[in-house]
A and B are shown apart, each in its own frame.
Chain A
Amino acid sequence: MTEYHAVIIIGGGPAGLAAAVALHDKGVRGILILERERHLGGILRQCIHDGFGLTRFGEALSGPEYAERFIDAVTSRGIKCITETTIIELTGDKVVTAVSRSGLCTYQASAVVLAMGCRERTRGAIAIPGDRPAGVFNAGVAQAYINLYNTMPGKKAVILGSGDIGMIMARRLTLEGAKVLAVLEVLPHASGLPRNVEQCLNDYEIPLYCRHTVTGIHGKSRLTGVTASRVDEALQPIPGTETEYECDTLILSVGLIPENELSRMAGVEIDPHTGGAVVDEHFQTSVPGIFAAGNVLHVHDLVDFVSLEAERLAASAAEFVHNGRLPCCPVNIIPGQGIGHVIPQRISGDYDAVIAFRVRNPLRDCIVSLMRDEKIIVSRRYKKALPAEMLHITFPEGLDNNGDITVVAVAQ
């Protein structure tokens, strides 16, 4: 028996929750949130550090506090949520098959919101050679162990990757009595935010070694140490530069990958720059009626932008539920020189379109331009542009929308 819902939201984290609230407030009824874990909140449940909600609420909240505001909003609106549910199939016709404690269920939706978030890149994916002992954890896993399960992953740690999660875990482990020997980063600069280098590493005198990576993992049943090597310009280990670290824990913070198995199943076109869906300014994917927002679309640094993105999606999804279609978006936005990725990848040109992007390398005093046919349409100067900080530029409505737009970043 197939149950019908107007909108099915896959994922009850910040993107899914914000979309649900906004859809409801736009008059949509028959919303269903399906969440894999026992509780709503997504990754925010384990992000107990603060800094969430600075732009949205003007307060430095912890992850759980930020999530609670949206969970309460969902509850007070009576929006239906089913937890401990895993979606095993999504079709382009918006049929959702799910497994939960009540068994196998099939749902039919008018619109589907993809809000599944992302996964961490693993040791296997980057092929670190060596033994396969216990004691090698992804940073998010270690974070869940400490913050949700009251379990310390180890006592003496080396961290590979200076992304924000890696640095935050350096601090978390140290606060709970572990010794963090070093944070290793393969690039010439830290990949996370400067505030985290300051407050997670410098504060605790944890050394950061850029241009280094782990080239060996040692241990029989439990990790006993790792080998670190310097890398060259091509990020390849340089023989003869090995250092040995004695440790029982290796924390990996080597990248987040949007989780799009279901999206691919439904025939959604994926952008190789992001690992997430190609979307237009409505946050609609290449499959009409399937939308995406949050980390499943592109990895964010600030949850405030996730909520904003989900709310923009909801405005369009509500229109789709009402009218059965949305205006087409024929103008492609292409990441050009210096730009890693852009979201959305297609716009109509009929409205102000906020384009989110990241630069490929850290730049000082750079100019980011929207160009068409080698002519600059819009420009913005940034005193500092870091890959670690998502930036935004607006394509104004009313401009002639004949021809694709390329976004470029040029250092001064």
Chain B
Amino acid sequence: MRTCICILCPNGCEIEASQDGLGTVTLNGARCNKGREYAVQELVDPRRNVTSSVKVADGCLPLASVRLSAPIPKNMIFPVMDAIRGITVKAPVVTGQVVISDVLGLGCDIVATKRVAKT
């Protein structure tokens, strides 16, 4: 059983979600379908985006901020952080540039979110 606060709209419904042995999910407290989908996802396969930064070589800034192109399973957050930590990108960096493609085989890319010019 899991209680989560839905983050999709300002209502912030507190939704109780539980799953029985057969995998059937029961929900309590949601006011819309989007909220129900969110609560089920949170219970069954919670996903998060990760935002961090990578080192930049020869750039006018030492770091370029990055994020994932799609959310990943919650339990992969720290492995993804380890993958990011080892990276140095060469300037110039363009917003939207793919820094790591299909990171850890999770089906999403690590993408730069800041423009960094060459020194």
Contacts and interface: CB of A to CB of B under 8 A. Distances in A.
Given A68-B95, A148-B63, A150-B62, A175 B10 contact: no
A147 B7 contact: no
B115 A384 contact: no
Interface in A40-67: 45, 48-50, 60-65
A203 interface: yes
B77 interface: yes
Given A48-B113, A198-B7, A148 B61 contact: yes
A389 B9 CA distance: 11
Contact of B10 (A62, A63, A148, A384): A384
A64 B55 contact: no
Interface string B64-93: 011100000010011001000000000000
A203 B51 contact: no
B77 A175 contact: yes
Contacts of B63: 147-150
A175 B53 contact: no
Contacts of B107: none
A389 B62 CA distance: 34
Contacts of B18: none
Contacts of A176: 52, 81
B48 interface: yes
A330 interface: no
A62 B65 CA distance: 9
A62 B52 CA distance: 10
Contacts of B77: 175, 203
Contacts of A63: 65
B95 A175 contact: no
A65 B66 CA distance: 10
**Which of under 10, 10 to 19, 20 to 34, or 35 or more describes the interface residues of B?**
20 to 34
A96 interface: no
A197 interface: yes
Nearest to A48: B65
A175 B79 CA distance: 10
A32 to B, nearest CB: 23
Contacts of A199: 7, 48
Contact of A203 (B11, B61, B67, B74): B74
Nearest to B8: A195
Most chain A beta-carbon neighbours within 10 Å: one of B4, B11, B12, B51: B51
Nearest to B82: A177
Nearest to A146: B53
A83 to B, nearest CB: 13
A189 interface: no
Given A65-B95, A195-B5, A383 B51 contact: no
A48 B67 CA distance: 8
Most chain B beta-carbon neighbours within 10 Å: one of A147, A148, A175, A386: A175
A194 interface: yes
B52 to A, nearest CB: 6
Contact of A149 (B12, B49, B62): B62
Contacts of A64: 65, 95, 113-115
A148 B55 CA distance: 10
A199 B114 CA distance: 23
Contacts of B67: 48, 50, 62
Interface in A196-211: 197-199, 203
B50 interface: yes
B11 A175 contact: no
Interface of B: 4-5, 7, 10-12, 48-53, 55, 61-63, 65-67, 74, 77-78, 81, 95, 113-115
Given A48-B65, A50-B67, A198-B5, 20 more contacts: A48-B53, A50-B49, A60-B49, A61-B113, A62-B67, A62-B113, A64-B95, A64-B113, A64-B115, A68-B115, A147-B53, A150-B63, A175-B52, A175-B78, A176-B81, A195-B5, A198-B7, A203-B48, A384-B10, A389-B10
30 contacts: A48-B51, A48-B67, A49-B51, A50-B49, A50-B51, A61-B113, A62-B65, A62-B67, A62-B113, A62-B114, A64-B65, A64-B113, A65-B95, A65-B114, A68-B115, A147-B63, A147-B65, A149-B62, A150-B53, A150-B62, A150-B63, A175-B50, A175-B78, A175-B81, A176-B81, A194-B7, A194-B12, A198-B7, A199-B48, A384-B12
Q: Which 6 A-B pairs have the closest CB atoms?
A: A48-B65, A195-B7, A64-B114, A62-B113, A194-B5, A150-B62
Interface of A: 45, 48-50, 60-65, 68, 147-150, 175-176, 194-195, 197-199, 203, 383-384, 386, 389
